[in-house]
Amino acid sequence: MQQKLITIERHIAEQQQQFPQATGEFSRILRDLTLALRIIARDVRRAGLTDLLGSTRVVNVHGEEVRKLDELAHDVIFRAMDHGGHLCVMASEEAEGLIHIPSNYRRGKYVMVFDPLDGSSNIDANITIGTIFSIYRRLDESLDTPGTLEDILQPGYKQVCAGYAVYGSSTQLVYTTGMGVDVFTFDPTIGEFLLSHPQVRIPPHGSIYSVNEGSFSLWEERLQQYVEYLKTPSTDGRRPYSLRYVGTAVADVHRTLFYGGIFMYPGNRKNPEGKLRLIYEVNPLAKIVTEAGGRASNGCCDVLRIEPTDIHQRTPVFMGSSEDVTELEQFLRGEHPTQRAHE
Ligand code: AHG
Ligand code: MN
Ligand code: MN
């Protein structure tokens, strides 16, 4: 039998009914956000025709060149979310400080953080890109004052919702509110996200690794040993692994969610904290992977437990199938049986 037709709005409303105390506020945030995602998806699809490719020639807080689509996506999300009355503050990878709700609008009890366009360096070559978001409750829900830095600097395990849109061969929206991970596929002919993959589970073990291996010589030796191990054939046929690396974290994690394996953005000698940003990229992606039964580690600990100290801080990350991430951690501790044989 074919699956029932369920739009994302209906799905969110049904989920919300399971909480008798729910006010519907949360559903309205997601409704506003999906409007922004539909607009970004439309603009991404037509970018080559509408002068949306290329750079703005501005450099952002991370020292990276801002693309026109980065700026557009940031603005669209702001314009969809600033006046709903549900958020008290936002933060974006593309804005240096906190993004406050204009004083003429009501402030609510939620906080939203986002990476408006992930995979910017891939835009001009028409390679998959995405948008990442997460939502927290503000620390003191009784307040109606502007949200603060502390509201943004919450550890990832406190996310009440996390998700991403991936603008690939189709547009998909993946999200969790702590009740599993559901995937919706956008039908452009009716303008709706329809539930296409309910309750996705990541395979416990995979056969793909995903990392920018060009930095191999800058890695710590134990990470080098792990990647060498993945490439060495084994008698049980599990290895060698295949290498896949898009260079868009959303796309690499999305593939890992469906096929299993491990996605890594490690620290290295030049950048000990790696590149990915804890608040806008790592935490939401980690929440999705964890909710789907996988793991997300900074090499020794669960990334969702990190207490952030800076809105733009970076962290090394290794996420994907639980057995793969556990094996990687074993290597980084120098405790894998094959390492002991060599050391
Ligand atoms: P963004 O486009 O939001 O700045 O993020 C790009 C990130 C991430 O998507 C990807 O995993 C990583 O950059 C790729 O970096 P390298 O080119 O160093 O591999
Ligand atoms: Mn990004
Ligand atoms: Mn970005």
What is the phi/psi pair of residue 64, to 5°?
Answer: -105, 150
Q: Inform me whether the pLDDT recorded for 343 exceeds 60.
A: no
Say whether both 170 and 298 belong to one domain: no
Say whether both 93 and 232 belong to one domain: no
- What is the tens place of the pLDDT at every residue in 245-263? 999 999 999 999 999 999 9
Single-letter amino acid code for the residue at 243: L
Single-letter amino acid code for the residue at 218: L
Q: 3 in a domain, yes or no?
A: no
Give the Cα separation of 177 and 258 in Å (integer).
19
Q: Token digits for 55?
A: 């750079």
**27 Cβ inside 6 Å of ligand 1:** no
Give the Cα separation of 343 and 221 in Å (integer).
12
Neighbours of ion ligand 3 (CB under 5 A): 93, 115, 117-118
Q: 316 in a domain, yes or no?
A: yes
Pocket test for ligand 1, best of 44, 60, 120, 128 (most atoms within 8 A of CB): 120
- How far from 291 is each of 180, 268, 295, 305, 321, CA to CA, in Å? 5, 28, 9, 15, 12
Say whether both 223 and 286 belong to one domain: yes
Residue 95's CB is within 10 A of a number of other CB atoms, namely 17
Say whether both 257 and 179 belong to one domain: no
Q: Domain of 303: which CATH number?
A: 3.40.190.80
Instruction: Identify the CA nearest to 26 among candidates 109, 101, 107, 119.
Output: 109
What is the phi/psi pair of residue 221, to 5°?
Answer: -60, -35
Last residue of a domain, one of 162, 197, 232: 197
> What per-residue confidence (pLDDT) applies to 88?
97
pTM of the model: 0.97
* Atom nearest to 122 CA in ligand 1: 2
Last residue of a domain, one of 135, 169, 197: 197
What average pLDDT does the chain have? 95
Say whether both 191 and 287 belong to one domain: no
**119 Cβ inside 6 Å of ligand 1:** yes
Question: Ligand 2 centre and the CA of 324: distance in Å?
Answer: 23
Q: 202 in a domain, yes or no?
A: no
**Total domains present in the chain:** 2
63: left (phi over 0), alpha (psi -120 to 50) or beta: left
Residue 137 belongs to domain spanning: 8-197
- What is the tens place of the pLDDT at every residue in 9-45? 999 888 888 877 777 888 899 999 999 999 999 999 9
**64 Cβ inside 6 Å of ligand 1:** yes
**249 Cβ inside 6 Å of ligand 1:** yes
Last residue of a domain, one of 149, 166, 197: 197
* Atom nearest to 64 CA in ligand 1: 4
Q: Domain of 98: which CATH number?
A: 3.30.540.10
- Non-local CB neighbours of 261 within 8 Å, separated by 6+ positions: 206, 207, 208, 209, 210, 241, 320, 321, 324
What is the phi/psi pair of residue 267, to 5°?
Answer: -75, 165
